[in-house]
Amino acid sequence: MEEYKRLFIAVKVNIKPALEKYISSLQELFEGSKIKWVQTENMHLTLKFLGKTHIDKVTKISIELSEIAENNEPFDLRIQGSGVFKDFFKPRILWVGVRDHKPFEKLKNDIENTMAELDFPIDYNRFKPHLTIARIKQINKRDEFEKFVLSYEHLLFQMVKVEEIILYESILKPEGPTYVELEKFKIGKSGSGFVTERF
């Protein structure tokens, strides 16, 4: 029996037409570049990457996430603006931004602090919530790419109602990762986790 799973905690984002159009436009304009596009059904906002986790810890993780979800309230996020990591001279990640993210930041901090008690290291990197659209190895027409992305720098793509957090398993495959929803936790006092796959 498999004793470890590669886990992370996230909020699922269902993509709406404005963002779909932005992504499809980029795919058409920069066809031929070496870009790995994230499948829209896999898009999420990561709260905590747990990594290789022994299955004996999963029940404790679920109990803690259920309590965290209950002690927070549902909230809205704006998916707005677009940009890249590292920079436009050598772009590696294409993202769209997240605004009004203070409730999201609180949720992340609650998870970070609680998971630290279960021996998961705290992530001290500067928090910049974002939705990864693509991973870039090589881009054709770099100047045109920069101009196109920056033209959407402040555009509001969609709103996201955050009403649950999800414990995912990431299964690595040659064609890319598959994300399996293991358990969902409704946010708010009336919320409770419900198992979508049993260990």
Q: Which residues pair with 160 in a beta bridge?
A: 77
Q: Under DSSP, is residue 196 helix (H, G, I), strand (E, B) or coil?
A: coil
> Do residues 33 and 138 touch, judged by C-beta distance below 8 A?
yes
Spell out a b/e string for 115-140, using b for 16 or more CB atoms within 10 Å of the CB, else e.
beeeebeeeeeeeebbbbbbbbeebe
Marked catalytic residue, from 54, 101, 130, 154: 130
- The two three-digit tokens of residue 145, written as one number: 């790419």
> Do residues 171 and 178 touch, judged by C-beta distance below 8 A?
yes
Concerning whether 130 is annotated as a catalytic residue, the answer is: yes
- The two three-digit tokens of residue 72, written as one number: 């927070």
Active site residues: 44, 130
